[in-house]
Structure formats: C-alpha cells, structure tokens
Amino acid sequence: MTGRRSATATDRADPTLWPTVAWPALSGEQQKIFRAREEAVRLYCRRAPLRSIEAATGVPFSSVRRMYERCLQTHADGRLQGLRALVPYEHVKSYRRSAKSVRSGPAGKAGAFQQLLERHPELEALIANELQAHHVVLREGPKGLVVGGLSALHKRFRLLCLELGLTQGDYPLVQDEQGIRSLGAAVKSMAARSFELAARVALAQKRSGGVRPHAEGLPLVAAIPFDAVEFDGHRVDVRLRIVFERVAGIEESFEIDRVWLLTIIDICSRAILGYHIVLEPEYSRFDVLKTVERALVPWRPPALTIPGLRFAPGAGMPSERFPELGYALWNWFRFDNAKAHLAEDTLRVLTDIVGCGAHAGPAYRPNERPHIERFFGTLASVLAHRLPGNTGSGAADPRRRIAELTATSAAVVRLDELMELTAVAIANYNAAAHTNLGGRSPLEMLGYYVREKQSALRWLAEPMRRNLCLLQHEHEGHVRGSVVKGVRPYIHFFGARYTSHALAGRADLIGKPVRLYFDAEDVRALRVFDAAGRELCVVEVQGAWRHTAHTLRMRKEILALVRARKLRVAHNDDPVQCYLDYLRHGAARRRRSASKAEIARRAIDAAAPAPKAPPGPAEKAQSDCATAPVPLPAEEAKQSKSPVKGKRLIIGSGQVFSR
C-alpha cells in the first residue's frame, strides 16, 4: 500500500483548477456527503495520511484514492470530471451492458441496443449514412424532437440485421416492435453529438448565433474581538459635486445626490472593519455584500491628493495594521430590518460563506445597535458638519441654514475629496483613544487581544480568498435555440444573448434548465451549471453589450429607458456609451442623472478590460483554527419587516451599551 501511494503522491492534481459543483442544488443529505468527499480529496491532494483523512472527514480511507481517480476521469464535455465526480448517486460513465444474452419478455433489455451496435458496427454505420443522406430528419414536436422517416430506416435496419446473421429469435427482431423505439432514441442521440450535425439533420437553412472567431442567540456584550459586529448605513450630510471633462482641458461640474456610507464595526474593540460609499439614492443588497467583502479583504490606504491631508501616527484599518486579521470572520452580524439587509443573497452570504449568525434587531429601537449609531454621530461631528455645504442633522439644524447663507455655490466639496477625507477620518478614528476602552484606541485593543492574549479567531478558507466570490449571485434560466431553425444554443439573460464555443455546439442542452452565477459589478460573463449542479461552461455576452463593462443595475436602467422611448440605441451603437451621453446631458438639470453618470463611470473604470466570469458557487466558511462552529439562529431570521425610523439615542458620547 505504501509503494502504491508513493507512486502517485509525486504528482497530485490541483483541485482548485477542476470543474466545480453548485452545491446549493443538492439535497441536504447529498450536500453532507459531497462536502465530506470534497474535503477528503483536497486533503489527499495535499498528501495527508489516509487514516487522518478518514478521521477528519468520515470517508473510509479505502475510498479516498478511488474518489480521487474518479475526479481525474474525462467528462463527456472533454474536461476532467473534477468535483462533479463526487456528487452522490451520480455516474461518471454511461451504462454498458455486460450480459451477452437477452432474456425473453419485456424486461431486462437495458443497454442491449447499444451492445448490438458495438457488436455490429455496420448497423451504426447505416444510421450515420441515413442521417448524412437526409433520409432521416428531425422535427420539433409538442414534446421535443421527433424523428421523421423512422419507419423506412427501421425497415432497412431489419434487413441488415438478417444479412448479418441475426434470426427472428435474436434481439431486436424477437421484440414485438423489433427495436423501433430504441432505434429512434439512437438516431436522436447520434444527431445531438454536435450542433452542426443536429442542424443538418433538421434541414436548417442557416446557422445563427455562436461566438465570432476573434472573440476571446446573540450576547449583549462581545467578550472578544470578532465575536459580534454591527452594520448600518448612514446618509452623509454634505452636498457634493462631480467633474466631467467635456473636451481636453475643459471641465464642467454638477451637483449630485448625497451619498451613503455603509460601515461594519467590531463591538468589543470599537474598530471599524470596513466601509463602502454608495452613490445611489438607496443602497441595495449588492452594496451590503460589497461592504462585507471590504471588511474581509486586507485594506490598502488610498493615495491622498488634498494638500496637508495625512493619516495620524498609527492610524489605519485592522487588516492593514495587523496582517493576521486579513480575512478574519465574525460570529454574529447585527443589523436592522431594512430590505437590503434581509435579502436572500445577503443572508446566504452571512450564513453560508461567513458562517455567522444573522441577527435582525427589533424595529424602532436603534439603541439595540448603539455602537454603529454612535460612530455615525462621531463621524458627522468631526467630518461632515465641518465641511462647506453640509446639510446638518435635519431640516431644523441651524448649521444647515448657515451653510446655505454662506456657501458661494450649492456644492463645493468634490466626491473624490470626500472619499479621501472619509478614509482618513475612519483610519484616525481607529487610532484615537476611547474613554470606555481605558484610554486605549480600537487598534490597541485589537493588538492586546490578538497578539498578547492570542484569542482564537476564524478565517475565510484559502480557496475563497483567491476567488473572492462574495458578490456572486444565482439566477435560473434555460438554454434556448432550435436545431430546426438552425439557431445555435444560447442563454438569454436580462435582455442580452450569451453563448460560447462549448455551448454553441451542445444541441442536447436546448430547452434544459441551467443555473447561472454572475458578478453584479460586471455582467459580461456568466458561469453556467446544469440543474444537477455540474459545471458546463463560461458564456459571454454577444452583440454591442460586450464592448463596455457595465453593472446589472446599469443594464436594467438602459432597457427601461429604451422601452420608455427616452433613449435610442442604433443597431451598431454601444448601449452603455449611449446611456452615459444621456446622463451627462441631463446632469445639469437633475442631480440624479449626475449621480448615475458618476456611478457608471466608476464601474467602467473599475472593471477588467475583458469579461471575467465568477468562479461559481462559494463554499461554506471553514475555520482555520480549532474553534467550535457558530450555531445559526433559526428563529431570529423571522424578524419584523416594518421600516426602521430614526430615533434619538439615549446613550452619551463614549458610553458603552451593556446589560
């Protein structure tokens, strides 16, 4: 056994490069078996001892190598089976009959026709020749493809069987229908091996679609850091402007809507873990997930362009000051009952990926989340309310009236300047001494727990750090196309066609349901899985949509404007560029248009030059240290969905909320 293992242990495959499985499509019992098998194979690839693999996963040590070899087999699509071979009750190869004789009667004939074709290649050659000569055609029927000319083919098939020495007592001539249904199934199977053959058999007049050849229960007080965090959004009390460059060297500025600041704060240390600025009138679930991602990914300080602006000594974010806190996970996530917080995608990321409990607090009681509310008050006093053009904390705030009387223009603070000021203010807040922390700063408190007391933490699993699949979202669709009309398989996704070389040749997928995973920040590429969760391919958007990167929200707005006849897009025009021109023309009259134009510009600048598909469904969070799993609250997911209204805090500055 040792010699056999050492021969294969010298060159193990990398499972991160294998096709994956959309595990949410599996049943609860199948998910449990699949995750155990997946972990066993990953450990085997890292050359862990077989006995330790069995102890860690429960998979028998005698089955680990067999599963690894199953993953290395070739799939029907030409790629490795990969993790698809670990799905319970799935066959990695088609059934092949081993029995030589066929029993009389209606039962016991599975695989007999395929065995007949293998024993007599002349019969398979007859079917192929009849397809090539168009003596047999495919037509679309009410229940799928129908074989035309099957009776004539069956007659020639019977005659050839007699010429090959088969008698009336042999299969298939001994059957009542003499194998006509199996012959029809074989014809459709051979025709569906490629789209070209299927379209030719269906007498399609053209071949459209395809890819161009050149296309490429929560504790009230957190005992240790990352035990519990609070999240909320705050409307920044400052009027802002953006600058467009009309022609070279000539700039024009417009006022935009006030922006949102989404923040995650650690309750124990009071440290801000991550934040995200949103330019939309209301933030969505995508923005909540972006904030979660930024709280996990190690922070990098931005370049400062404002003269005299600098970070305080020791200022920064936890993941930048303490590298070991990069990708650290929390155990509880507290928020209010906003719809974006209770969205299915938000709860999926928190429970399945982060592996924490999601605690939606009661409505109308902001004191249940006092730390994030107090932070917003502190940030407003040290930043927003000291800037020109601030709107104060409300309509009756005298600072708003003073700013309106003294300001020389409606908005004098630029958006880029506010982002730099916000970054410095939050970093300095993390380094400022807090009275309730015993005169320590949040970063000093983190350093005490992490480096001196060495508190146990959880971290995001290594494969997910490379993929960063937090912003992936799932969408159910169908493969469209027609072999009769010669339309290659494609997927319709929010007003655009998607396809690839691999999908365009799969006639057998037409009409089949698929699961699509996409990045809401750039929807030019999708990753496709079948209904059973097996990965199929990556598809890219076709037509004018592929020219410029765009978000899902941008595409929806473009389609809505086209339907309302407010935006005209010619056949060869780039709809995203037409949308930007439309917004820039309306920026002088509407702040909403100016905000959307800036959102679109930043999305285009941040996207990759070429479409990039998301890696697929994320795995559940795994702890890199020996800590007990956090129980997921079953009852607390059922929270009141009534809106949360603002209410004056009863705690004072620097006070700790506890019971």
pLDDT in tens, 494-519: 999 999 999 999 999 999 999 998 88
Q: Token digits for 147?
A: 């074989």
Contacts with 30 (C-beta within 8 Å, 6 or more apart), sequence order: 87, 88, 89
- Specify the range with the lowest mean pLDDT, choosing from 287-291, 314-318, 608-612: 608-612
- Average pLDDT value for residue range 573-594: 84
Query: From the CB of residue 45, how many other CB atoms can be counted at a distance below 10 Å?
Result: 17
Distance CA 229, CA 333 (A): 5
Quickly state the pLDDT bin for 658 (edges 50, 70, 90).
very low
| 347 neighbors 637 (Cβ within 8 angstroms) | yes
Written as one letter, the residue type at 237 is: D
Average confidence score pLDDT of the chain: 80
| 513 neighbors 474 (Cβ within 8 angstroms) | no
- Specify the range with the lowest mean pLDDT, choosing from 274-288, 369-383, 392-406: 392-406
Contacts with 61 (C-beta within 8 Å, 6 or more apart), sequence order: 50, 51, 53, 54
Question: Buried (b) or exposed (e) across 202-231, using 16+ Cβ within 10 A?
Answer: bebeeeebbbeeeeeebeeebebbbbbbbb
H/E segment holding residue 32 = helix 28-45
- Specify the range with the lowest mean pLDDT, choosing from 284-288, 299-303, 382-386, 640-644: 640-644
Nearest 10 degrees: Cα torsion 51, 57, 63, 67: -130
Give the gyration radius of the chain's Cα atoms. 31
- Average pLDDT value for residue range 151-172: 87
How many residues are there in the chain? 659
pLDDT at 244: 64
Per-residue pLDDT for 631 more than 90?
no
Per-residue pLDDT for 319 more than 90?
yes
- Tens digits of per-residue pLDDT, 323-370? 999 999 999 999 988 888 888 888 888 888 888 988 887 655 666 788
Question: What are the DSSP calls for 623-637, one per residue?
Answer: -SS--PPPPPPSSTT
Residue, of 409 and 319, whose pLDDT is higher: 319
Written as one letter, the residue type at 538 is: V
Written as one letter, the residue type at 351 is: T
Query: From the CB of residue 93, how many other CB atoms can be counted at a distance below 10 Å?
Result: 12
| 312 neighbors 427 (Cβ within 8 angstroms) | yes
Nearest 10 degrees: Cα torsion 16, 19, 22, 25: -140
pLDDT at 38: 92
CA end-to-end distance (rounded Å), the chain: 60
Per-residue pLDDT for 421 more than 60?
yes
Distance CA 600, CA 584 (A): 11
Question: Angle, to 10 degrees, between the axis of helix 180-191 and the axis of helix 121-132?
Answer: 60
Tally of CA atoms within 13 A in the half-sphere of 481 that contains its CB: 35
- Average pLDDT value for residue range 218-225: 69
- Specify the range with the lowest mean pLDDT, choosing from 320-324, 567-571, 572-576, 583-587: 583-587
pLDDT at 519: 83
Give the pairing of strands 240-247 and 487-493.
unpaired
Distances (CA, A) of 188 to 124, 171, 430: 13, 21, 67
Quickly state the pLDDT bin for 628 (edges 50, 70, 90).
very low
| 174 neighbors 168 (Cβ within 8 angstroms) | yes
- Average pLDDT value for residue range 10-29: 82
Distance CA 18, CA 84 (A): 9
Residue, of 364 and 462, whose pLDDT is higher: 462
Of the candidates 31, 293, 231, 217, the one whose C-alpha atom is nearest the C-alpha of residue 637 is 217
- Specify the range with the lowest mean pLDDT, choosing from 41-55, 108-122, 246-260, 468-482: 246-260
Q: What angle do CA 239, 232, 257 make, to 5 degrees?
A: 20
Q: What angle do CA 542, 547, 549 make, to 5 degrees?
A: 105
Of the candidates 261, 199, 264, 198, the one whose C-alpha atom is nearest the C-alpha of residue 230 is 264
Of the candidates 11, 93, 94, the one whose C-alpha atom is nearest the C-alpha of residue 45 is 11
- Average pLDDT value for residue range 152-180: 86
Classify residue 407 as exposed, middle or buried by CB count within 10 Å of its CB (0-12, 13-18, 19+). middle
Of the candidates 99, 103, 120, the one whose C-alpha atom is nearest the C-alpha of residue 111 is 99
- Average pLDDT value for residue range 129-144: 83
Q: Token digits for 577?
A: 């560029």
Per-residue pLDDT for 489 more than 90?
yes
Question: Buried (b) or exposed (e) across 350-382, using 16+ Cβ within 10 A?
Answer: bbbbbbbbbbbbebeebebbbbbbbbbeebbee
Classify residue 251 as exposed, middle or buried by CB count within 10 Å of its CB (0-12, 13-18, 19+). exposed
Q: What is the DSSP letter of 352?
A: I
Distance CA 526, CA 268 (A): 40
Q: pTM for this structure?
A: 0.65
- Tens digits of per-residue pLDDT, 76-90? 777 888 898 899 988
Written as one letter, the residue type at 73 is: Q
Q: Is the sign of the CA dihedral 176, 177, 179, 182 positive or negative?
A: negative
Written as one letter, the residue type at 325 is: L
Residue appearing with tokens 């168009």: 134
Quickly state the pLDDT bin for 264 (edges 50, 70, 90).
very high
Report phi then psi at 527, rounded to 5. -110, 130
H/E segment holding residue 418 = helix 415-431
Distance CA 155, CA 157 (A): 5
pLDDT at 496: 93
Quickly state the pLDDT bin for 173 (edges 50, 70, 90).
confident
Tell me the percentage of the chain whose pLDDT exceeds 70.
Answer: 80
H/E segment holding residue 325 = none
The residues pairing with 492 across neighbouring beta strands, listed in sequence order, are: 497
Residue, of 196 and 232, whose pLDDT is higher: 232
Per-residue pLDDT for 529 more than 60?
yes
Q: Token digits for 510?
A: 């037409």
User: What is the SS3 assignment for 142?
Assistant: coil
- Average pLDDT value for residue range 262-267: 95
Cis, bond preceding 611 (omega within 30 deg of 0): no
| 34 neighbors 87 (Cβ within 8 angstroms) | yes
pLDDT at 221: 62
Contacts with 67 (C-beta within 8 Å, 6 or more apart), sequence order: 37, 40, 41, 59, 85, 86
H/E segment holding residue 264 = strand 260-266
Strands of 240-247's sheet in order across = 250-256, 240-247, 413-414
- Specify the range with the lowest mean pLDDT, choosing from 28-32, 92-96, 135-139, 159-163: 92-96
Question: What are the DSSP calls for 336-349, one per residue?
Answer: ---TTTSSHHHHHI
pLDDT at 360: 85
Quickly state the pLDDT bin for 617 (edges 50, 70, 90).
low
